[in-house]
Each structure stands twice: as C-alpha cells, then as structure tokens.
Amino acid sequence: MKTKWKHRDKVLTAAAVVTCLSWGFTPHRELHAVAITALPSPVFGFYKAHQHELMVRAVDADKRKHGVKEEAARHYIDIDHYSDGISPCGWHEGCERYSEDTLRSRGILPWSIERVYNQLVVEMSNCGARDSSAASLSRVLRLSADLGHYIGDAHVPLHTTSNYNGQLTGQLGIHALWETHVYETSRPNWSGQKIEALYISDLRNWIWSRIMSSNANVEEVLRMEKAVRERVGAPDVWGYRTRGRTLSLIPTPGFCEEYNDSLDGMVEERFYMAAEGIASAWYSAWVDAGAPDLENDLIKPKKRNLMSELGHFLRARFPIQKERVGEDLYLH
C-alpha cells in the first residue's frame, strides 16, 4: 500500500500524540516467532506447530488492558519509585516490605512473569494425564503467549520507569517511538542474530537482572531522543502519513533512522535479547515440568458429544431400560 508523508513542525501537543505503551502488535508477534527458532528439538516441534496461534495470542495481554482493571500494572515496574533500590523478592515478601497497594501502584511486571511461568509449569506437568481437561492445549498456548508478552515488555527500558512516555521531560510519544516506529523503520535492515534457548536455573534473579538491564538504558533512551531532536538541521520529528484513507501523525522515517543510529542499535539488541529470553523461559518451564512429550500428550480436548453423554446418563439412571434407551437415542 502506498504511503505518503507530509512533514510538519517539531512542536507536538499532547492531544496529537498517539501512544502504544508496549512493543507494538507486530513486534510482539514477531518476538514469539523468532523465539520459536531458538528452541531445542524436544520442544521446537510443538511450538512450531502452533506458531500461528501463539502469534495471534501474543497481544492478548495488551488487549486485556481495556477490560481488566488489574492488567495494566502487569506490564511495567517503576524502578525509580524505589528510592532505596529494590532487590529480587517474591510476591509475599514484597508485600511485607512495601504493601500490596504500593507494589500494584508501581507496577508488578517481575511478579507477573514469575506467576505465569509457574502456571505454565503446572499445565505442562499435567500432560499425558488421564483427565484430558488437566492438560489443556489451549491453556498451555495462552500461558506461553502471556509469558512471552511480559518477558518482551521486561526488555523495554521505558517499561521500567515512571517517565514511561517522556511525560515528565517534555518528550511525549517517546514510548511508541522507541518500540514501534524505530522498530518498523530499522527492521528491514537488521542482519539477524543467532539466539539459543538456555535453561534458567534461577528464574527470579534472571527476571530481575533483565529488568535492571532495561532500566540501565532509560537515561540514554531519553537523552539521545532530545539530542537528535534539538540538533541543528535534524530531520523533521513528526509527519502526517497517509495509508489509504487513514491519516496519522507519527515520527518520520528520517527522524527514526537518526534516533536509531544514536542508540547504536539498542532496539535491535533488546529485541533479540527478549526473543532469546522468551525461548529460554518456555524451554525452562518444559524442563521444570518433567520434560513431557508435548507433541503427543498435549492435544486439544475432544468436542463434547451431547447425544453420547445423554445416552450414558440415561443408561446409568435407568439401567433396566439400558438397551432400549440406547436404540431410542438414535431413532430420530
């Protein structure tokens, strides 16, 4: 589809900013696809077979923000609000230190990752159980997608600060700029990186190390955007893009390219780190679940046959009429 651009001044009002406070839908979906390529053979086949559904569900967590009040806090943590710092801790320990209300008001991303990971381990460990409902393919895929989404968010610097959209520093719109527009502009030029899923022996410390690594980049993310924007002769920051009948005001390709160069490929680096992290979490959950045979043991629950179920009920309820009832059920 043809895209047309019309540049405008660098000044942007808050009302004109369209934000996407997470990796965009396309990056989140691609993160899951790339993560699958890093999996070892025992789990690669299963995830590859369900790649389409995983990619579709990769953005479910973002969609839930519109209907589930508690969902938004699961996607971030404001590290800067912990003036004395915060060390890795479990949910209950964190509640004792700071109170549950405090944790939720500052974001609960690390605990969301840990919670969903443990739920995935439980679901995978039920594979092969006689009760088909105990090992639901749908639940494993949903939890895998949610886990991947939260881990993806943990690799975005602006998901770890209260200044998540530059609203405190006069940089409104920087969130979508970093994780959506720079991604879209630079992605065709990425050379690709080799990634490999590794077993995570200490999940909690791993989660926190990734979050703190993201937080360490916050200052550079903000500083370089301002430097590029204020440079004499810099590209126009904002432009109207026309796609079909849709007119959108978004960062221009020229500005995105210069900002990406100033970050020395940070977006690409964090993307592949996130993809490898997602793969490692899926693989580790499988190991912790006892290495079940996902491809053969985890199948979709069979569709209910209501006529058959009614027959079983009637035969149990009226054993004397057993044979006749069985015939009558299929006469009509």
In this prediction, residue 312 carries a pLDDT of 55
Neighbour order of strands in the sheet with 246-251: 3-7, 238-243, 246-251
For residue 136, give every residue at least 6 positions away whose Cβ sits within 8 Å of its Cβ, in sequence order, or none: 123, 301
Lowest mean pLDDT among 66-70, 117-121, 298-302: 298-302
In this prediction, residue 327 carries a pLDDT of 39
Residue 28, pLDDT > 80, answer: yes
- Mean pLDDT, rounded, of the chain: 86
What is the per-residue pLDDT across 173-194, written as a single tens digit (0 to 9) for each? 999 999 999 999 999 999 889 9
- % pLDDT > 90, the chain: 73
CA 271/CA 45 separation, integer angstroms = 23
What mean pLDDT do residues 271-295 have? 96
CA 224/CA 214 separation, integer angstroms = 16
Distances in Å between the Cα of 236 and the Cα atoms of 38, 119, 240, 305 are 39, 47, 11, 62
Q: Where are the domains of the chain?
A: 19-239+250-301, 306-332
| Four-CA torsion 25, 29, 35, 39, nearest 10 degrees | 150
Give the confidence band of 248 by pLDDT, cuts at 50, 70, 90. Answer: confident
CATH number of 19-239+250-301: 1.10.575.10
Buried b (16+ CB within 10 A) or exposed e, 146-164: bbbbbbbbbbbbbbbbebb
In this prediction, residue 126 carries a pLDDT of 87
Are 285 and 117 in contact by the 8 Å Cβ rule? The answer is yes
What mean pLDDT do residues 189-201 have? 95
What mean pLDDT do residues 9-34 have? 64
Are 210 and 277 in contact by the 8 Å Cβ rule? The answer is yes
Residue type, 78: D
What is the per-residue pLDDT across 15-26, written as a single tens digit (0 to 9) for each? 334 444 555 689
Residue 303, pLDDT > 80, answer: no
In this prediction, residue 297 carries a pLDDT of 78
Q: Whole-model pTM?
A: 0.83
- Helix H, strand E, coil C: the string for 201-245 is CCHHHHHHHHHHHHHCCHHHHHHHHHHHHHCCCCCCCEEEEEECC
State the DSSP H helix or E strand holding residue 249, giving kind and residue range, or none if neither: strand 246-251
